Amino acid sequence: MEFGHIVLAFVIMLSLLLIGMPIAVIMVLLGAVGGVLAFGWPLVESAGSVVWGVANENILTAIPLFILLGELLLRSGIADRMYASLAIWLGRLPGGLLHTNIGCSAMFAATSGSSVATAATIGTVALPALNERNYSKSQALGSLAAGGTLGILIPPSVNLLIYGSLTNTSIGQLFIAGIIPGILLTLLFMLYIGFANFHREADLQETNIPFDAKLRALGGLFPPVLIFFIVMGSIYFGIATPTESAAIGVVVAMGFAWYTGSLNFDFLHRCFMHTAKTTGMVLLIITGAFILNVTLALVGVAQTMTEWVSTLGLSPTGLIFSLIIFYLLLGMFMDVLSMQVLTIPVALPIILAAGIDPIWFGVFVVLMCEVGLITPPVGMNLYVVQGVRTDGGDFKDVMWGALPYAILMLLFTGLLIAFPGIVLWLPGMMLGT
């Protein structure tokens, strides 16, 4: 397949996206039309087996389980208590509740795996307190949008899971690889907040709380911390697969919901319905991606792209910097899942030919998608945070507030390029690797 045909197909795909056509429909359409033009109807008729294979992929069972885990924590009120607990401990720092936004987002991300859910949940909980205490609109909203991006990096991450299923890479190693980068990025966000608010007085509502009251407040952090260690510990020590660990996490979360008195039929109905809707959307996109990928593989797109990149004479570092620019541009027009399913099947053979570790590349792709979540005009988290605010303020508040965090993410990406061991050390220590 010629390089010009690949560019034409990509332009058509992007044009269909811009006019509002669903990404799953676009991928199925291009896969079917391309297959007919290249090989005739037999290729299209074989699509049924592809759909059946995707639907029976065992590892994808973890997607609805992790989504359900986040729903249980959200609707049982655990997120509210977690925010109140962190506010007591972090309110004295320069920036006060802005640190709580980041810390609570990181903890909720460590159990839900979804950036949109993290931004919406923490935003709903935090905005009333932030408005009451007259925090800067741009700083408050920007910290919520940026904190939500941690949801697709800190494991368990639905997006890392999808990357693993598309590339046949160990989900367990990907999850473990995201831990240290996720923690460091959280600390980097908080360090920035501290410097930006160095002259702001500590939040007086949190400074005079007795120490024994602070210790009691730690109980609000117990459920998410326990669930995180159960899920990730069982994966790290080889006790359970990601799917099995997700199921264990759901059972533990139901136990906490029962303990708080939230567990009833209406509670479960709302959790299951929202999980089913979200899972259906995700799996439909993944199915469309697999149909398109069959056509791409048979017409030799990956081989053509690999040969073209090799003619450029780029070093592995130069290739990664080129991909950073590519993902930044793509993130302005596409959502995270669309970027993943459209680019990973083509990019993976190229980075493997360049000698780049697929585990490291998985974290890199997710980090680039994080930047896309807060990059206008289609930064999903920007619109989510704007949607949960109640003052009807200007969208520019969210956009300008999130911009410093996007810059920090790019600087952090440079750190991962310079020191890949930040990503690869912990999965290399796993049992059985």
CA distance 241 to 348: 24
Q: Closest Cα to residue 156, out of 56, 66, 81?
A: 66
Distance CA 227, CA 69 (A): 9
Whose CA is closest to 113, among 257, 236, 282, 266? 282
The two tokens of residue 88 are: 């007591």
What is the pLDDT, as a whole number, of residue 18? 67
pTM of the model: 0.82
Least confident of 286-290, 362-366, 372-376: 286-290
Residue with tokens 């992007």: 14
Q: What percent of the chain has pLDDT over 70?
A: 85
**At 210, phi and psi to the nearest 5?**
-60, 150
Closest CA to 158 of 239, 68, 225, 76: 68
**pLDDT tens column, 220-268:** 888 888 888 888 888 888 888 888 888 999 999 999 999 888 889 999 9
Tell me the two tokens of residue 286.
């993944």
For residue 322, the Cα-to-chain-centroid distance in whole angstroms is: 22
Task: Between 218 and 404, name the one with better pLDDT.
Answer: 404
pLDDT tens-digit readout, 301-356: 666 666 666 677 778 888 899 888 888 877 776 667 777 877 888 888 888 888 89
